Amino acid sequence: MSTMHNEAENQQRLSEPPWEAAEPADDPAPSLGATARELIETVLFILLVFFILRGVVQNFRVDGQSMEPNFHSGQYILVNKIIYFHFDANAPLRLLPGMGDLPPRVIYPFRMPQRGDVVVLEAPTGDGSEPVDYIKRVIALPGETIQIKDGKVWINGEVLPEHVSQGGYLYEQTDCLGGRLCQPYVVPPGTVVVLGDHRSNSQDSRYWNAEPGLPLDRIVGKAWLSYWPREAWGVVPTPSYARSAP
């Protein structure tokens, strides 16, 4: 009985077709439209990342000697553009009837420029030409009284400790150059006074014809990181007097 059962199994197996490896199904070739769509999406993604990064960080090449010996011509730095981001909270309210004269209420979510910050700015030309990017140091803040006399900068009647002998960054004296900063000057709201570290060779607030005060909206960002040449690599420091000066 067992022999007959085995013979029946063998006959059943013999009747089965031999196993053959299945040929892989041909993947359909991507259509031209799908390839073009993927390419466009990739390009748009790259552009989006690029513009986001440009809105936060921007590279800048130092041109000239106005910040020597702390920054040199040909040096490359990264500028933090987001740190001074600000907006007018009253701007939407001025669209309402009868609210057009509402004064601005500017809010800095992170922080305003501080004394001692090295900033990249659009220099006021006054002749309608294309703005030029300068690199300078913030010296006086809105509402403060600044005067340059006796080769020093005075803020609210006290000498600003800028010289290297005081732990600062200056190696020379400061001349008012016969301009408005020779006399006490109250920095208008929404502006700052900026000077170069190479005081005898710097186009800064002392030279601008209209107002020494630089509008805050002209500040591009804060010098953050020096990355070239290699020996200058490092975070751009902010002097400690920025937290202790008057």
Report long-range pairs for 149-156 (Cβ below 8 Å, ≥24 apart). 149/176, 149/182, 151/175, 153/195, 155/115, 155/245, 155/246, 156/246
Q: Can 66 be counted among the known catalytic residues?
A: yes
Amino acid at 79: V
Work out the angle at residue 151's Cα, subtended by the Cα atoms of residues 146 and 153, and round it to the nearest 5 degrees: 20
Whole-angstrom Cα distance, residue 103 to residue 168?
A: 38
Q: Which of 2, 15, 31, 66 is catalytic?
A: 66
Q: Write out the two tokens for 163.
A: 């010289």
Q: Which of 81, 136, 205, 222 is catalytic?
A: 136
Q: Can 73 be counted among the known catalytic residues?
A: no
Q: Write out the two tokens for 3.
A: 């022999």
Q: Which residues are marked as active site?
A: 66, 136
